[in-house]
Homo-oligomer: A and B are copies of this chain.
Amino acid sequence: MAKVFSFDDIMKLPGRYRANLINKVSGFKAANLIGTKSKDGQTNMAVFNSVMHIGANPPYLGFILRPTTVERHTYENIKETGVYTINQITTAIHEKAHQTSAKYEREVSEFDAVGLTEFYQDDFHAPFVAESYIKIGLSFQEEQLIHCNDTRLVIGKIEHLILPEEAILEDGDVRLEDLDTAAIAGLYNYYKPEHLGKYGYAKPE
């Protein structure tokens, strides 16, 4: 039996119910940890389900930043230092990764609080997550304020990309399932995707 919600129906739903429902209907989301470090050396890490591909040439990734306490620490550090890391959440660390969404005080490092390990590449200021097979260091590139609800699209340029060499196929493709990559749905649900198929560049006929 199909349930049909109009815009007005959605607006009348209880807040938590609406948040759960609307966060689900767009489908599965990327599961990443964003790592930052303030100028005075305080590290921070938070789970984000909104990391997206913006372009490959040059290589840009984006994420949506909401005006919450947890995400604000990330934003402040990015604006202060210009750099951050995006680190793949594996199924092995997904419970620790989710725990980073708790509202820790600014002087608490989520690396210590949840038991994940800082990793540094050359002199890049921001901490990577050692347990992530895919580690990406970015420099802040651009942000767009989304007027309809005051969230922000934050875009960074890939400065460092670190991943296991054996996971890269001849055509540059990466088998995410061989790297234990998790996915998220909504705010609280974690998944392990099973491969269905790889298809060519589609052509008419």
With both beta carbons as reference points, the residue of chain B lying nearest to A11 in the complex is identified as B58
Copies of this chain in the oligomer: 2
Would you call A144 and B142 a contact (CB within 8 A)?
no
CA distance in complex: A50, B61 (Å): 12
Cβ of A151 under 8 Å from chain B: yes
Residues of A bordering B, CB below 8 Å? 1-7, 10-11, 13-32, 49-62, 64, 86, 88-89, 91, 94-95, 98-105, 108, 113, 121, 134, 136, 141-142, 144, 146-149, 151, 153, 155, 157-166, 168-169, 171-174, 176-177, 181-183, 185-204
Would you list 18 pairs from A and B whose C-beta atoms are within 8 A, ordered by A residue?
Answer: A7-B160, A18-B57, A21-B172, A23-B56, A25-B136, A52-B52, A54-B149, A58-B148, A62-B146, A100-B202, A101-B202, A105-B204, A142-B148, A187-B201, A188-B201, A190-B198, A191-B194, A192-B193
